[in-house]
Amino acid sequence: MAFESLSEKLSQAFKKLRQKGKLTEKDITTAMREVRMALLEADVNYKVAKEFAESVSARAIGEEVMQSLTPAQQVIKIVNEELTTLMGSETARVHIKSKPPTVIMMTGLQGAGKTTHSAKIAKWFKKEGHRPLLVACDIYRPAAIEQLKVVGKQADVEVFELGTEKPEVIAKKAVSHAKDHGNDIVILDTAGRLQVDKDLMDELVRIKKAVIVDETLLVVDSMAGQEAVNVATAFDSDIGIDGIVLTKLDGDARGGAALSVKMVTGKPVKFAGIGEKLDDLELFHPDRMASRILGMGDVLTLIEKAQDTQDEQEMEEAAKRLLENKFDMNDLLAQFEQLKKMGGVGAFMGMMPGMVNANAQDVDDKEFVKIEAMIHSMTKKEREKPAIIDPKRKRRIAAGSGTKVEDVNRLLKQYDQISKLMKQLKTNPKKFKRRMPFM
């Protein structure tokens, strides 16, 4: 996640507070100095970092914290609330007007990911029950139209293009096409430049004059740090933007753009790109992002991902098998497939409370490829009844999967542990719930 380094530094600062009983004003001042430095190292705007630390300090140095039985937890609670406010407080959604079509203009510099994220957003809206239309308004970049056609096909969304006709003419005819063919959302993929210049802005202004643009979204690369905030400020000043799409939020960027852009520009982040696949797009939830940064996880997004990638009947059948203690290797294989659809084990653990800073080496997805290979090397009977796997069968499974007997033994041991947990769920659900609260 983009905030991994920031999360680690904040965790260290709060650990020092937890080691103390009653907090003094000096303790809080010292902690806030560390928080401010952590934010600056994450490439957060200096003024934003300074005001954030001052705001937390003002609230923390008060009766609510000083008189509390758990002062460190109260400080963390305040930081969580202030982080949420910093990023926009509430989830900002694209406004869909009652009389279609809603026109969304995608803008940004060249290389920011406009075309890919136009398709991502189109696919997201399609899942929501809409009929989006992608429009190729980038007539300059080589193969831009072809790229939009490719990602449009992957998203199963129609693409409207008129070759090298003027972008404002393309936009106007696309809106007419949408009205005639029942498309309720029109997404304009516009051209970018290597830097903000007059020609780019003039073209965007002409498009806005030709059609009524309901939402202007600016696509910015979160790895650009403060430069992304500067770009957002320039675009908003010249053409006016309604929201921001942050890309590469799953990378190792410092994340300062996500924490600064709302406060500096006043415009909310509406979507976050979290991977290269077309499904790797999320609504930007400030409260959930604050929880992730502070190591509290993001169980709500985790649940939503599970619901998106597994149909209701499959989930009910899996739950029924677990409750009836019929969990076997086939079920384990199905769960690994589910984790892969949700972005892999690393992404899963990044949303679990207390596991944001888990070592990536400890959650290497390659290990699960080995496990899948071992399960695929088992016979149907062995998958259904792993207890019958004797030393001879273990050697055959290891040879068939390109692994070692020790790997097979480890897999069988892990399966036994999961089976015991399932039995506990059936015999004592309350105790199981206390041990696994996130379930």
Q: Dump pLDDT digits (tens) for 178-232.
A: 999 999 999 999 998 888 888 889 999 999 999 999 999 999 988 877 888 889 9
Nearest to 354 by CA among 298, 303, 312: 298
Q: What is the number of structural domains in the chain? A: 3
Domain for residue 296, yes or no? no
Q: pTM of whole model > 0.75?
A: no
Domain of 315, CATH number, reads: 1.10.260.30
Alpha-carbon gap, residue 409 to 79, rounded angstroms: 45
Say if residue 317 is in the same domain as residue 393. Answer: yes
Instruction: Say if residues 87 and 267 touch (Cβ distance below 8 Å).
Output: no
Alpha-carbon gap, residue 120 to 125, rounded angstroms: 9
pLDDT grade for 352, boundaries at 50, 70 and 90: very low
Say if residue 270 is in the same domain as residue 397. Answer: no
Q: Tell me the average pLDDT across 68-82.
A: 82
Q: What would the 3-class secondary structure string for the chain be?
A: CCCHHHHHHHHHHHHHHHCCCCCCHHHHHHHHHHHHHHHHHCCCCHHHHHHHHHHHHHHHCCHHHHCCCCHHHHHHHHHHHHHHHHCCCCCCCCCCCCCCCEEEEEECCCCCCHHHHHHHHHHHHHHCCCCEEEEECCCCCCCHHHHHHHHHHHHCCEEECCCCCCHHHHHHHHHHHHHHHCCCEEEEECCCCCCCCHHHHHHHHHHHHHCCCCEEEEEEEHHHCHHHHHHHHHHHHHCCCCEEEEECCCCCCCCHHHHHHHHHHCCCEEEEECCCCCCCEEECCHHHHHHHHCCCCCHHHHHHHHHHHCCHHHHHHHHHHHHCCCCCHHHHHHHHHHHHHCCCHHHHHHCCCCCCCCCHHHHCHHHHHHHHHHHHCCCHHHHHCHHHCCHHHHHHHHHHHCCCHHHHHHHHHHHHHHHHHHHHHHHCHHHHHHHCCCC
Point out the domain boundary residue: 289, 313, 348: 289
Q: Dump pLDDT digits (tens) for 117-141.
A: 999 999 999 999 999 999 999 999 8
Kindly tell me if the per-residue pLDDT of 254 is higher than 70.
no
Say if residue 170 is in the same domain as residue 316. Answer: no
| The dihedral formed by the CA atoms of 297, 35, 68 and 77, expressed in degrees to the nearest 10 | -30
pLDDT grade for 253, boundaries at 50, 70 and 90: low
Say if residue 127 is in the same domain as residue 193. Answer: yes
Give me the residues paired with residue 102 across strands.
185
Instruction: Say if residues 11 and 357 touch (Cβ distance below 8 Å).
Output: yes
Say if residue 232 is in the same domain as residue 107. Answer: yes
Domain for residue 340, yes or no? yes
Say if residue 319 is in the same domain as residue 199. Answer: no
Point out the domain boundary residue: 289, 311, 334: 289
Q: Which residue range forms the structural domain that includes residue 49?
A: 4-86
Alpha-carbon gap, residue 31 to 395, rounded angstroms: 56
Q: Dump pLDDT digits (tens) for 289-328.
A: 888 788 765 445 555 555 555 555 665 666 666 666 677 8
Beta-carbon count within 10 A of 276 CB: 10
Say if residue 115 is in the same domain as residue 241. Answer: yes
Domain for residue 383, yes or no? yes
Domain for residue 95, yes or no? no
Domain of 76, CATH number, reads: 1.20.120.140
Domain of 175, CATH number, reads: 3.40.50.300
Domain for residue 96, yes or no? no
Burial class (CB in 10 A: 0-12, 13-18, 19+), 329: buried
pLDDT at 298 (0 to 100): 45
Kindly tell me if the per-residue pLDDT of 430 is higher than 60.
no
Say if residue 167 is in the same domain as residue 264. Answer: yes
pLDDT at 137 (0 to 100): 96
Residue type, 410: R
Point out the domain boundary residue: 289, 321, 346: 289
Domain for residue 387, yes or no? yes
Domain for residue 177, yes or no? yes
Alpha-carbon gap, residue 271 to 286, rounded angstroms: 11
Residue-level length of the chain: 439
Say if residue 275 is in the same domain as residue 376. Answer: no
Say if residue 133 is in the same domain as residue 273. Answer: yes
Q: Dump pLDDT digits (tens) for 401-425.
A: 999 999 999 999 888 887 777 666 6
Residue type, 8: E
Say if residue 40 is in the same domain as residue 142. Answer: no
Say if residue 108 is in the same domain as residue 67. Answer: no
- Higher-confidence residue: 15 or 336? 15
Beta strands at 132-136 and 158-160: parallel, antiparallel or unpaired: parallel
Q: How far apart are the first and last CA of the chain?
A: 23
Nearest to 29 by CA among 63, 11, 66, 54: 54
Domain for residue 202, yes or no? yes
Q: Is the dihedral of CA 190, 196, 198, 199 positive or negative?
A: negative
Q: Tell me the backbone φ, ψ of residue 185, rounded to 5 degrees.
A: -135, 130
